[in-house]
Structure 1
Amino acid sequence: MPESHRQERCRKMEKQELRCGYTTGTCAAVAAKAAAVMLFTGRELQHMNLMMPKGRSADLPLFHVDIKRSEASCAVKKDAGDDPDVTHQAMVFASVQYTDGKKERQAQGIYQLKGQEGKGPLYLKAGEGIGWVTKPGLSCPPGMPAINPVPRDMIFGGVEEARREAGFQGSLTITIWMPEGKSLAEKTFNSRLGIQGGLSILGTTGIVKPMSEDALIATIQLELHIKAVAGMKQVILVPGNYGEAFIRETLGLSLKDGVTCSNFIREALKTAGKEGFRRILFAGHIGKLIKVAGGVPNTHSQYGDRRMEILWDCTAPFSVEKEGIKHKILTANTMEEAAGILKDHGILEPVMGEVMNRIQKHMTLWSEGAEVEVVTFSAMYGILGMSRGAMELIRLFSRPGAEGIEQEV
């Protein structure tokens, strides 16, 4: 994100002026309704209005309109507002065509809305760039396109409204696709969630609210839920990119066994405990985890930066006769610098031992009783601390095909 855009976004956030956008579900439903209307009327439209959940309406412009005798299609450009959504400005296409339903009834992976009052069914299928669900635990069953329930209702509802107004009784097939979907999906969590080949058509209200903490926490909770449904009893948690690189390059583990929890340490551990994970390996940079040693549940800087104060509290018992060390620690700019100070004074190892004890204590409490093992590191000094049972858990995850699933003994 360019610095000027980031600064502007920060100013808007401070003023609480972030602009909302529309979900992919809304875009797909608007495009589908418009395609249906144009199929019935033969007239090209410039925009289409659709009623969303909770009584709000969306009136969106149309692109790439194409009307044929038995099929019509168009696209809606996704507007995510001020949310940093990877699908912002992507085209969501929909086509509607007449059908007798024979091919659809024989095919796999097609959603169906049974017709009422003598009307034929409506069929909904996915085209290019829409992902397919491969794991249980999501809103869509395995083997079906990742078009979530609320967007499905919106799509079917919009097309049914057009069909009713046109007085048409027969069946229709709706196809949703996103040409950029496959490439954009690589920038999302879809593959981790078990959605392959493209994006999901999402939304519960039809509106995209700029990314909030609730949305990020919900993503973490969903990832953990999916792994729990798959039978995993052990899981790896890492805060972000540093942790991901560390478990891959230093510990030789794979994030297929893990979940990235960002700054939401307590929320992730709490969810893991509720989902039934018995053992958790938490690997993170000391810059974040030192805050956990002080009982800080969310490590984002907006909640304060007490890193050096917490480190000094852990250092004090080992700093007898270490002249000037308190001032050095409290005025250090980074944890790398602070670790160097401890190393120079010959107390890095015992201090990190105390840090690890405190981190493990808080994490175990937040997980409500799961066995939590912790590894912390720095870029300059490598592994700084490791709880007593961490190596055993690392070996468990390193077994071929282990995937965190406990074996019956």
Structure 2
Amino acid sequence: MSRFGYTLPVFACGAAIAALHWLRHQQSLAMVTVDLITPVEIAEIPIEQVAGLSATQALGISRSDPGDNLDLTKNTPVWALVEWRTDDGEVVMIKGGEGIGKIQNASDAPAIYGYAQTLLRENLRRLLAPGEKIAVTIILPAGRSLAVRTSNSAFGVVEGLSLLGTTGISQPLSTPDQLEAFRADLAAKASRFSTLVFCIGENGLDLARKLGINPEQLVKTANWLGPMLVAANVLGVKEILLFGYHGKLMKLAGGIFHTHHHLADGRREILTAHCAMVGLPAADIHQVFNSPTAEAALQHLRSLDSQNHSNWVMQIYRAIAETIDLRVAEYIHSHSDQGQGITVAGSVLFDRDREIIIKSQTGCMLLHKLC
């Protein structure tokens, strides 16, 4: 069995509780309890260090443990600076310090989302006497350097990591146990529908729902696209719509069917190859190849189209989408029994703003059918 851990907000909350305890009692705690709220469960969080900085400030330090998961935040320090306040603001004020990302389209607000905000406020408010107020600044010392290894910037979060999620339990999406859970969900839905939609993550699931696709036909795959496609074929699913962020889904065009970045990447090589195939000028091919992210490369292509009234984005991404469909068909065929019907797959790729970039020919047909 895989060992489940906790999400980053839980360790931030644990560090904040330890710092607040120091301010009140001038005592260090080796362990604190955190009410996860979702799920209804109490977690015990080890505290690495607590330091009283002044009569009104203390720093708590914990260390992230997401369990048996390929998570780049594993073992990273999580700091919480807690200080007393006397102003008229909210009881628990939450701030993002060094290493916490900023949301570009929200006036650089800290990337501390709903669950993390609720978790911190609910747990800390219970420890305060009437009239007491605190400010909590969450700091991830390694956040800025770790962020360059994520797709955060593709979704408008820069200069650090996000405190996100909807639960305190870390879901080990890269472990075999989680694959079995996805397969079970797939089997249940395959018994009811002949057409299903595969979404790698929450962005795809959210956009698919907003487009009007029946939520009962949505299947989360995380990075296990290859095994899930094979399972769908074995279960007799006739059609699969692959619905994903372009920086993830384009990996399939290179024959990469487990898309976790710890195992394989190849995005810039895949994108560059398709740029060359449709005749993009050499200087721009070089620019695409040296772009730090797939999103940055897309923005460069969009800039070219805007300046020159060209159509590079559509040409290149249409080629990528059709290649994805071809590689998926080859992959399913290579893992199927002779004479078995082959699941038909189409693809839809969207950008960081959850705007659809392109639909393959089959993807367009399936999306029209589903909506």
| TM-score tier (shorter) | 0.5 to 0.7
Q: Which amino acid aligns with 1:145?
A: P
2:86 maps to 1:100: yes
- Which amino acid in 2 is paired with 1:66? A
What TM-score, normalized by structure 1, do the two folds share?
0.53
Distance in 2 (CA, whole Å) between partners of 1:42 and 1:222 is 47
User: Is the CA contact (8 Å cut-off) linking 1:243 and 1:283 kept in structure 2?
Assistant: no
- How far off is 1:172 after superposition? 1.1
Within 5 Å, give how 1:13-162 maps onto structure 2: 17-53=1-37, 54-67=39-52, 68-101=54-87, 114=90, 121-135=91-105, 141-162=106-127
Alignment RMSD, CA only? Answer: 3.9
1:217 pairs with 2:200: yes
Q: Give unmatched runs, 5+ long, in structure 2.
A: 183-197, 212-244, 252-264, 276-284, 299-313, 341-358
Does the aligned pair in 2 maintain the 1:125–1:174 contact within 8 Å?
A: yes
Aligned pair in 2 of structure 1 residues 170, 360: CA closer, same or farther (>3 Å)? closer
Residues 1:239 and 2:250 are matched in the alignment: yes
Distance 1:61 1:364, change over 3 A: same
8 A Cα contact 1:122 1:174, kept in partner: yes
Q: Which AA in structure 2 matches 1:218?
A: G
Taking structure 1 as reference, are residues 223 and 187 closer, same or farther at Cα in structure 2, changes over 3 Å only?
Answer: farther
**Distance in 2, Cα, partners of 1:62 & 1:366:** 51
Cα distance in 1 for residues equivalent to 2:57 and 2:11: 19
Alignment partner of 1:178 out of 140, 157, 170: 140
Asked whether the equivalents of residues 11 and 64 of structure 2 are also in contact (C-alpha less than 8 Å), the reply is: yes
In 2, the alpha carbon distance for the partners of 1:29 and 1:44 equals 16
Could you tell me whether the CA contact under 8 Å between 2:11 and 2:78 is conserved in 1? Answer: yes
Aligned ranges for residues 254-269 of structure 1 at < 5 Å?
255-256=294-295
Q: Is the 8 A contact 1:79 1:89 kept in 2?
A: yes
Distance 1:26 1:66 in 2: 20
> Relative to 1, partners in 2 of residues 1:236 and 1:63: Cα closer, same or farther, differing over 3 Å?
closer
Query: Structure 1 residues 56, 308: CA separation in 2 closer, same or farther (over 3 Å shift)?
Result: same
Aligned length: 251
Structure 1 stretches lacking a partner, 5+ long: 1-16, 103-111, 115-120, 136-140, 229-234, 260-277, 311-358, 371-409
Q: Hey, what's the Cα distance between the residues in 1 that align with 2:21 and 2:92?
A: 15
Question: TM-score, normalising length from structure 2?
Answer: 0.58
Q: Deviations over 1:230-271 (max 9, x none)?
A: xxxxx9674324453232355135732789xxxxxxxxxxxx
| Distance in 2 (alpha carbons) for counterparts of 1:199 and 1:83 | 17
Structure 1 residue 363 displacement after superposition = 2.4
Q: Residues 279, 309 of structure 1: CA spacing in aligned structure 2 closer, same or farther, 3 A cutoff? A: farther
Query: What secondary structure does 1:281 align onto?
Result: helix
The one-letter amino acid of 2:49's match is H
Larger Rg: 1
